[in-house]
Structure 1
Amino acid sequence: MSELEVTYRGTVYPWHCDHMGHMNVMWYVGKFDEATWQFFSGLGLTSAYLRDNGRGMVAVEQKIAYKREVHAGDVVLVRSVLLEVRDKVIRFCHRMENAATGELVAVTVLTGIHIDTTVRHSCPMPPEIVSAAQKAVVPGFEPGI
């Protein structure tokens, strides 16, 4: 999986851990969210583009599989891959790994919709973003969820 783009790298801090001593699920989602915005930016869906054009991205579906525990002090990284792009829809996968061991920690597949933030309805992404993103899709990639 090392050919997938690294979109997040960070440390698990003690306050990320629950009473059982491992990172709580809310922090997996938070780290995946940070990876999402890095990933989107690389596709042209930057904060400037969204802000300047009255556009946004909303998650409409997220599936997560937790594979291994991580603990305070562990460094995790997220690798991301584009699974599908349509005019208004983007589907992608994040794979979180323990940076030291390379073990898969968690996997998530998300579906996002491009919206007009004024009317709060879906709308097409610019054709140049769709076209460039479609070239980045990895056909047949199996997320492992």
Structure 2
Amino acid sequence: MSRRPPLENVYQLPLSYRATIPEDYLDEMGHMNVMWYTHLYGLAIRDLLAGLGLDRAYIEREQHGTFALEKHLRYFAEVRVGQQVSVYTRVVGCNGVRYHLLQFMVNDTTEQLASSMETVSAHVNLTERRSAPMPPEIASAFAEMAAQHDQLSWQPPVCGVMGVDK
């Protein structure tokens, strides 16, 4: 499969975030600056994690959170000011400490896949600043979502060098 899945595949995934691009996201080329892709993907991950129980209250109460370990970002089509984008997220795997996500940004205005970002992150003890096992209920929520996404008829177009066991 191409690293660029058709939109009908992407739309099978949960919508994680939606935004309209403001003028201050522009760069000198007249399109959204690369740093804002990472920002929007980060907001989508935040919302996904909150839905799995890893929200601000959990972070403050348990002194645990997540750190990104690796990212792979691909650009397919421009995003410009005033356009609406949506981020869809697929859980590729989770081993109880690390999780592997693949996200897709769709430019709703032009109906094009704008980019994808693959991420491996770790659950961490914020006091020790080291990886730590997820609580069973969060690990189970990740595993359930990964199993649901595994049932899709298409393979995730991962880069091949990242994963929870690498």
Tell me whether 1:18 sits opposite 2:27 in the alignment. Answer: yes
- The yes-or-no answer on 1:130 pairing with 2:133 is no
Query: What SS class does the counterpart of residue 129 from structure 1 fall into?
Result: helix
Q: Which runs of 5+ in 1 are unaligned?
A: none
| Partner Cα separation in structure 2 for residue 16 and residue 74 of structure 1 | 11
Same amino acid, percent of matched pairs = 32
Supply the AA of the counterpart residue of 1:142. Answer: P
Match of 1:76 in 2: 85
Deviations 1:46-101 (A, max 9, x none): 11111100101000000000000011111111011111011110111110001123
Shift of 1:13: 1.3
Structure 1 residues 4-15: aligned runs within 5 Å: 4-15=13-24
Q: CA deviation at 1:132?
A: 2.1
User: Take 1:50 and 1:67, find their aligned partners in 2: how far apart are those partners?
Assistant: 34
After superposition, give the CA deviation of every residue in 1:76-135 in whole Å (9 maximum; x if it has no partner). Answer: 110111110111101111100011232100100101100111111111001121112111
| Number of residue equivalences | 145
Once the two structures are superposed, the pairs formed by residues 101-140 of structure 1 within 5 Å of their partners are 101-137=110-146, 138-139=149-150
Where 2:67 maps in the other structure, the secondary structure is strand
Give the Å deviation of 1:144: 6.0
Partner of 1:143: 157
The CA RMSD measured in Å over matched residues stands at 1.3
| 4+ residue segments displaced more than 4 Å | none
1:52 is paired with a residue whose SS is: helix
Of 31, 34, 38, 2:40 maps to: 31
TM-score normalised to the size of structure 2?
A: 0.83
Contact 2:71 2:119 in 1 (8 A): yes
Distance 2:34 2:158 in 1: 18
Is 1:97–2:106 an aligned residue pair? yes
In 1: Cα distance, 2:88 partner to 2:72 partner: 16
